[in-house]
Amino acid sequence: MESMSGIECFVRSAEAGSFSEAARRLSLTPAAVSKNVAKLESNLGVRLFQRSTRSLTLTEAGERFLAEVGSGLATIQSAVANLASADGQPAGTLKISMGTGFGRAYIVPLLGDFLQRYPAIVPDWHFDNRRVDMVAEGFDAAIGGGFELPPGVVARSLAPAHGVLVAAPDYFTNKTLPQSPIDLAQHDGILIRSPQTGRVRPWPLRNHANEQMPITLRTRMTMSDPDAACEAAQLGLGIALIAMPNALSYLESKKLLRVLPDWYVDIGTLSLYFTAQKLLPAKTRAFVDFVVEHFRTQKLAQRFSAF
């Protein structure tokens, strides 16, 4: 029977495409990972990787072995983690990815209640507006919107992902409030660059009748962070298209107002993503259920809606 450490080193190396990256994720040295994989190959009597100075690729046997052991490894690790939970309670390091502004505004405030209920869980939360590779980077869960569902990952819907046009009341002191999307061409735009593509995505506006119109704002500036765009809009520098979770506090405090309130952008769905496993780790299940319940009691799905 091969050791779990050797199989895990193999699986993580296959996912990462290198021993050094696998070592980083496993908190081992590259030499230790390479040695464990070599021992596994020796015991199995087959070569699992083709190695070169610049690349690490699976052999045909390695691809078959990965397909057979990959999901089983996750199930076994989850079972061990659940058995090892403190006094039968969820325990362990909980690695979560979430957007910077969203996480600080809506998830960090839950920490006190969450840790009081689950004191043996240790949060390892990553705040980043990029889309992470959950499986390859070892995340237990991620919160985001508008993502395509990767293989091996499932999603729990939290709220609609709507974007709205916002501006400071002072911006319109000497300007006419737009009455139609066509009027946006006469106004300065604070645009947001995608952290994934580096581009400004040309989202179409739509209304209750599902009519669509382009956003024709003049580019006054471009930001890579929605909260920075909100701050720029608050200064009266232009009109910004902002996701409702980021815009909500500014709208409720009246620091920003909706522009063309009958129009919005449909970005998709704000969801909780986690790996598809037969046995989900207790710590991950606890987090998912806790966040879903919070969204329900605080009616965040309704508050994040553009309607």
Does residue 226 carry a pLDDT above 70? yes
Question: Helices in 125-225 by DSSP H: which ranges?
Answer: 134-137
Short-list 187, 195, 192, CA closest to 203: 192
Instruction: Give how far the C-alpha of residue 125 lies from the chain's centroid of Cα atoms, to the nearest Å.
Output: 11
Q: Tokens 């919107």 label which residue?
A: 145
CB-side exposure of 158: number of CA atoms within 13 Å? 29
Structure tokens at 104: 């600080």
Q: How far is CA 159 from CA 234, 262, 305, in A?
A: 25, 19, 8
30-67 confidence digits (pLDDT tens): 888 889 899 888 888 889 998 877 778 899 888 888 88
Q: Tokens 């057979």 label which residue?
A: 68
Is the model more confident about 80 or about 221?
221
Task: Provide the residue type at 139 as one letter.
Answer: F
Four-residue CA torsion sign, 222, 227, 231, 234:
positive
Q: Is 167 buried (19+), middle (13-18) or exposed (0-12) by CB count in 10 A?
A: buried
> Taking all residues of the chain, what is their mean pLDDT, rounded to a whole number?
88
Q: How far is CA 121 from CA 12, 20, 125, 130, in A?
A: 24, 28, 12, 25
Does residue 250 carry a pLDDT above 80? yes
Assign 177 to helix, strand or coil. coil
Position 1 scores a pLDDT of 47
pTM of the model: 0.73
The torsion angles phi and psi of 289, rounded to 5 degrees, stand at -65, -40
Position 79 scores a pLDDT of 60
Split at pLDDT 50, 70, 90, the class of 293 is very high
Position 196 scores a pLDDT of 73
Is the model more confident about 74 or about 256?
256
Structure tokens at 199: 């581009």
Q: Which of the residue ranges 80-89, 171-180, 235-244 would you say has the lowest mean pLDDT?
A: 80-89
Contact 298, 239 (CB under 8 A): no
Question: Helices in 100-158 by DSSP H: which ranges?
Answer: 100-102, 111-117, 134-137
Structure tokens at 133: 């590779």
